[in-house]
Amino acid sequence: MDKYLSMHRVGDAVDSQTVDESEKIETAAGNQPVDLNPDRRNPWFALLLSLMVPGLGLMYIGRLRMAILYYLLFAGVVTAVTQTRFIVEPVGFYVVLISFLLWYLLIAISSLVIGYRRRNTSLRGYQRWYGYTTFILFIALAQGVTLSMREEYLGYATYRLPGASMQPTIQAGEYILADTWAYKVRGPKRGDVVVFRSPQDPKILYIKRIIAQGGDLVAIRKGKLTINGKEIKETYLKDVAISLDYSLEMAERKIPKDQYFVMGDNRDYSNDSRAWGFLPAGNIHARAVYIWYSVDEYRTIQKKRLAKSIH
């Protein structure tokens, strides 16, 4: 019996030890939760990623489809604005610019908010270094192609004028938007300010005003422009000083068919048709539409010149 009791006590001890260990495990789990999921997502890191590359933070928290949806949504807005030619209006350009900023912030904030809700998540197949690398390269490629082909497929281009040959219409250093589809419907006409490839070097782009077109007779007498024997009132030359000989006098010239005579508004400081001859129609690239950004020599934004039409 003693032997039986001893065995029974041993059994009790074993049972008791098992219960005690179980209680210890439950107590430990209750007092200090054990993180059994090693794939915790940091929402602030997701925000940082989306600020660096829009959508990358959403991919990091497992919402790749949402990132793609955001891109498709923005692409749709840009396409609608460009196809309706709304972008070549000052309001349209700023709508696109503000839409981009809002879209950028929306993606970043979404990454943060959803990141907090999905802090514990299982890694998906694309959430590896090669997945992130592919995403970054694809976005960089898409942006590069869009920017390089925007003139043909979106119908606009932006330029910065380093010189003063078009003052006062366009100041040195100002950024302009040009309509690259402007002459698909109609041809250039007198008074248009155009961006064109230099007849001397097609790699160089110039911006000048069309003064006369094929068949016209153009001359300058005592600083006054005449076309077909009629003096032209050039309101855009207000406050422009003209003193050099080639700005004051030019013998009459006849413009050949499909060619144009162009000059800068700042006549004394412009290299134009007076120096190198006529501009072939095929060299004209776009029509300047408006100034979209302007700062002075102190880098202060010139609010009065923003969205100013070029005519």
3-10: long-range contacts, CB 8 A cutoff, minimum separation 24:
none
Cβ partners under 8 Å of residue 115, min gap 6: 41, 42, 43, 44, 45, 46, 47, 57, 60, 61
For residue 177, what is the DSSP state?
E
- Contact indicator for 191, 209 with CB cutoff of 8 Å: yes
Peptide bond before 162: cis, by omega within 30 degrees of 0?
no
238 belongs to the catalytic site:
no
- Pick the catalytic residue from 50, 110, 111, 208: 208
- Contact indicator for 172, 161 with CB cutoff of 8 Å: yes
Phi/psi at 220 (5° precision) = -125, 125
- Contact indicator for 94, 293 with CB cutoff of 8 Å: no
- Pick the catalytic residue from 165, 247, 270, 294: 165
165 belongs to the catalytic site:
yes
66 is written with which tokens?
């949402």
**Active-site annotation, residues:** 165, 208
